Amino acid sequence: MTAANFCCRNLRHLANLIEERRGGAYGAVILGVLTFCLGLSLGSTVTIAQAPPNVLIVGWDGVQRGHLKEMISKGEVPNLMQLASEGNLVAIDILGNTETKPGWVTVLTGYFSEKHRVRGNYHWETIPVGLTILERLEGYYGDENIFTAMLHGKQGNMNGMEERWIPVDGWTKPNPPHTAKMREKDSIQYWYVPRQQYFYTKDNVDLFKSYLSKGSPLDNMNGKTGEYTLQVMDEYSGSEQFAIFVQFNSPDKVGHKRGENSQEYTDDIISLDYWLGRFVEKLKELGVYENTLIYVTSDHGFNEGKRTHNDAPFVFLATNDESVMRRGYLVDIAPTIYESLGINWEEFEPILDGRPLNEPYNPPTWD
C-alpha cells in the first residue's frame, strides 16, 4: 500500500467516526493522523527531490557593457537574451584593476585582490588553496559527487604553471615570454615568470585546461574552446553533478587588435552568443538543462572606442537563475552562486567580500 492510500483510508475511517459520534476527543486523533499523513507526504517529497543544481559559468573576456547594450537593441545576441528571460540580465561594475588576471579570480572567489592576491596581469601571487568556487564545491559536495572543470581559451593570464627561468640567449621570438621580467642568476640572463595564480587551483579541480584556442585564426577563435566544452559536457554531465567554468578569450584579443567599436569585436560577441546557444542545446539534449544554473559574465570591459581596457569597469551578468534581482559588483557573483545552491557562504574563511545578488542590499549612506 502506498503512503497516500494508507492516509486516504484512515481519513475515510475518521470521517465515519466523526459522523457517528461527533466527540471532542476525536479532534486530537484527527490531528494526529493528519500530522502523520503530512509527515509521509513531506517524506516522499524528500525522496523525489532533485539532485543539487549544476553550475556553468561562461566567461566572455573583455565584453564592454555599452557595446553589449547596442547589440541587444539590434537583436544580435538572441541566446543571451533568451537565457536572461528565464532569469535576469543585470549591470555589473568592477571595483579594482580592470584586467584579465584579477577579473576572473574575483569572479571565481568573491574576494577582492587583497584576499585572493591577484592584483594585476603583471602583479600577482598564487591564489591560496580552496578559495575558488570550484574548489569550495568539491569540498561541500565531496569529490566523488561532483565533477569540476576550468577550461580556458587563453594561456597567458589563465594558467597554473610553475615559475619559469628561460635563458634569454635561447629565446628566439621577437617578444619576451608573457609577463616575463629579466633576471640574472649565476651571471646568466633569464626571462623570469613567477608561478601562476592557478598553480594550486589546477590540482584541486577534476579538469584544468588552458590555451584551448591555440592556433585559431582571429576570425574564429571560439570554435575550439566551444567544441571542447561540449565534449566535456557529453562525457560528464549525465553521471554526476558538475560545475564548469569556461573562459572565451576572443573579445579581448579582437578588441586589442581592432578596437571596441570595430565590426570584428561585434562579430566575435555574436559568435560567443552562438556558442552559448550550443551549450544550452547540449544541456537540453542531455536532459540536465532544467537543473543547471548558467551565469554569463566578463572580467573587464573596454575603454570606449579604444584598443585598451585600463579604465573599463562596466560589464554585465546574464543568467537563468531567477533569484538574481539586482545589479552589483564583480565580487558579488560568487556569493550569488553559493546562495542559489543553498550553501552557507557567511561561514567561509576569510569572509567573502561580495553580497549575493539574490537579495536586496542597501548599504547605509553614511553610518
Which chain residues interact with Zn ion by CB under 5 A? Answer: 252
Least distance (Å) from Zn ion to the CB of residue 126? 21
Least distance (Å) from Zn ion to the CB of residue 61? 7
**Cα–Cα distance measured from residue 224 to residue 154, given in angstroms and rounded to the nearest whole number:** 11
Residue among 135 and 252 whose Cβ is closer to Zn ion: 252
Least distance (Å) from Zn ion to the CB of residue 252? 4
Residue among 41 and 308 whose Cβ is closer to Zn ion: 308
Q: Are 298 and 315 within 8 A, CB to CB?
A: yes
Least distance (Å) from Zn ion to the CB of residue 157? 8
Least distance (Å) from Zn ion to the CB of residue 256? 6
Residue among 156 and 277 whose Cβ is closer to Zn ion: 156
**The three three-digit cell numbers of residue 233, written as one number:** 559536457
- Single out the residue of 106, 85, 56 nearest to residue 313, CA to CA: 106
Residue nearest to Zn ion (CB): 252
Residue among 113 and 237 whose Cβ is closer to Zn ion: 113
Least distance (Å) from Zn ion to the CB of residue 46? 48
**The three three-digit cell numbers of residue 250, written as one number:** 576572443
Residue among 209 and 309 whose Cβ is closer to Zn ion: 309
Residue among 235 and 304 whose Cβ is closer to Zn ion: 304
**Cα–Cα distance measured from residue 125 to residue 198, given in angstroms and rounded to the nearest whole number:** 9
- Single out the residue of 159, 149, 132, 279 nearest to residue 213, CA to CA: 159
Going edge to edge, which strands form the sheet with 292-297? 207-209, 146-152, 241-248, 54-60, 292-297, 314-319, 88-93, 328-329
Q: Are 92 and 316 within 8 A, CB to CB?
A: yes
**The three three-digit cell numbers of residue 333, written as one number:** 557573483
